[in-house]
Amino acid sequence: MNLKAGPSGGDAVRLGAWQRLHIATLIVPLLASLPALVPLIIVVVVVSRNSAAIFGMWFLIPAFALFHVLRYSTFRYQVNETEIIIQEGLFWRQERRIPVSRIQRVEIKQSAFHRILGLARVEISTAGSEEREAVLDTVSDESAHALKRVVEAAQKGEAPASEIQPKGRATLLRLPLRVLLLGGVTSRAAATFAALIGVILYFQGVAMLGSLFFRGVDPRVLDPVVNWQKFVIPGRGTRLAPVIDFFLNDTLLNSVLLVFGGFLLALIRFVGRHAGYELAQTGDVLTKSQGLLKRETSTLSRGRVQALKVEEGLLRRWFGLADVWIDSGGDRSKIDDKKKRAPFVPVLGARQLQELIPQIFPQLAGAEPSWKKVSPKAIMRGSKKGWLVVLVAMAGAVMPLGWFAVAFLPVFPLIYLLNLSSYRHTGYWMDGNYLATRKGWFTRQTLYLPVRNVQNVSLTETPFDRRLGLASITVDTAGQTNTGGGTTIRNLPMEEARRIQEALAIRSGRVTGPGLATARPTTAAQA
């Protein structure tokens, strides 16, 4: 059975037939390595002029080429209705069989060289695997998409036709350049740079006011203002002194330029990574593509979505923007590996968000969450923790900074106001199908969890919780890469926490926690 994917020298997707990678496998890796190889060649040949190194370079290039010739000649794969089979290796042959039913995602990525030559890289991930299960380095772009369609058809139980074409494809979302620019300006990096410049200006102002107020006093009192490198760091000529000088003495303009430069680089990176973003739906499958130089295409079945998180940073809320993060079932990448985290939608408006959520969770269509707050004791509890940290910091700053330690005093009311704002934006909502939680003020996070995906529900009491009659509920799910998986609802009254635990346990069919037995499965009417 032939799935035509364009003339690719034996690269067409043919069900049940062994196939090789595209012939461009012999040249594309070399082209992709040129940016790294050219500086090395210049250093070795022009700068060092070492004969042994030059001889080594001439040996390295043929060895590099021979490796890819052997890889091309020994690598082959086969696609059928039930599995993908991959064989590779010259002396040590390896064969992998990947059941189509276990495939979690088929991602299509294109570097600049791939796009110029009409090629693509296919990465196949399976449920429960932390690494890519299989990688087809170089295939034609049309073959890559044909392979993806074969997998989708097999997973749906559709009988493959002689030529599979996308059916009922609908574009859900596109991000024009104007929205991407606004998203880059209001991203986390932009908020961090804005906060940094605010801190610089604040301490600069405190130093200037202090120098005016203490004019005519013993010069040693003025050390924190006019001679930071001698006062803050004991001794002269310390390594940190130039850094302190740079930010707090005479380089306010340099500080602003430094922060602005970082902001500009973050903006360029954001726009380049998400340029041409498009989200489309074909049946139950969502397809996302993005990237300017490196084009990435990935698919996600709505039935595998474990959690959806909406993040609204302070800057983005001012512009009515947010970003969306999704976890899918079987994704076991480490939660602390932030390099693997990526937003499902990098930026979108409030109206688009309201239209997108029902596309992913159809049962939320028309739902209007009625948020229930946690105990108001959370305000003073969080404030006291923050005040204790500031008091310790002030005590440690008195000896090296002297009077300048008073610069921390405005932090005390600020901590209370932040906890008050955080409390106003913290709450939860639950119906028969979903649990939704929200928290945060500077970065507001709203998490939607299908109750069917809940793995366990735990109730926790610390000694401080028991004193206040409070408890925390922790809900765990399978996916934990982008959204953090489950959620923790803190500062709940004890009786309310137990009611939530029992309700979630019954609906999900399991209970974990001290003194709790596993719940028997119940009918929908009983739940």
pLDDT value for 457 = 87
**DSSP codes of every residue in 202-233:** HHHHHHHHHHHHTTTS-GGGGHHHH-HHHHTS
pLDDT value for 350 = 87
- In three state form, how does the secondary structure of 30-84 look? HHHHHHHHHHHHHHHHHHHCCHHHHHHHHHHHHHHHHHHHHHHHHCEEEECCCEE
| SS3 category, 321 | strand
pLDDT value for 490 = 92
Which residues does 456 contact at the CB level (< 8 Å), separation at least 6?
475, 476, 510, 511, 512
pLDDT value for 234 = 41
The whole-angstrom separation of Cα 444 and Cα 511 is 29
| pLDDT per residue as tens digits for the range 288-327 | 989 888 888 888 888 788 889 999 988 888 899 999 998 8
pLDDT value for 294 = 81
The whole-angstrom separation of Cα 193 and Cα 267 is 12
Mean pLDDT by 10 residues, the chain (527 residues): 37 71 77 67 61 64 75 85 84 84 82 82 75 80 83 65 55 91 82 69 64 50 43 44 51 63 81 91 86 83 86 88 83 46 88 90 84 93 92 80 74 92 92 89 89 86 92 80 75 93 76 40 34
* Helices then strands, each counted (H, E), the chain: 16, 21
The whole-angstrom separation of Cα 494 and Cα 471 is 5
pLDDT value for 526 = 35
pLDDT value for 492 = 94
